[in-house]
């Protein structure tokens, strides 16, 4: 696959999209629901839905995407919640 030079902003967007996908995959693998994740983070189900939404550029033109909806502490909580090993946790925390 050819490599393309990405700006720092584009790299950040890709990493954030990858993390959102990771959370969704972990939910499926562990049988957790958004309500379970919301309870673990201490926020509402609606907020989790907003945080995990991957914007569609065709539909969401003009809408401003949230920079980074997950805080460092929330990533740590999610790693513990899903039982992630040390290597995977380190990879996620350096996104």
- Per-domain boundaries in the chain: 12-61+68-93
Average pLDDT over residues 60-78: 76
Given a cut of 70, whether residue 34 has pLDDT beyond it is yes
Q: Where residue 46 falls among pLDDT bands split at 50, 70, 90?
A: very high
Q: What is the CATH number of domain 12-61+68-93?
A: 1.10.260
Q: How many helices (H) and strands (E) does the chain have?
A: 5, 0
Which range (30-34, 66-70, 71-75) has the least confidence? 66-70
pTM of the predicted structure, to 2 decimals:
0.75
Tell me the backbone φ, ψ of residue 28, rounded to 5 degrees: -65, -45
Terminal Cα-to-Cα distance of the chain (whole angstroms): 22
């Amino acid at each position: 696959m050819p490599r393309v030079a990405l700006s720092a902003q584009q790299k950040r967007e890709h990493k954030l999209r990858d993390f959102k996908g990771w959370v969704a995959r972990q939910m499926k693998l562990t049988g957790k629901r958004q309500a379970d994740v919301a309870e673990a983070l201490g926020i509402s189900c609606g907020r989790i839905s907003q945080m995990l939404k991957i914007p569609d550029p065709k539909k969401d033109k003009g809408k401003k995407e949230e920079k980074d909806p997950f805080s460092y502490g929330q990533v740590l909580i999610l790693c513990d919640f899903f039982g992630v090993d040390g290597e995977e946790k380190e990879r996620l925390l350096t996104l």
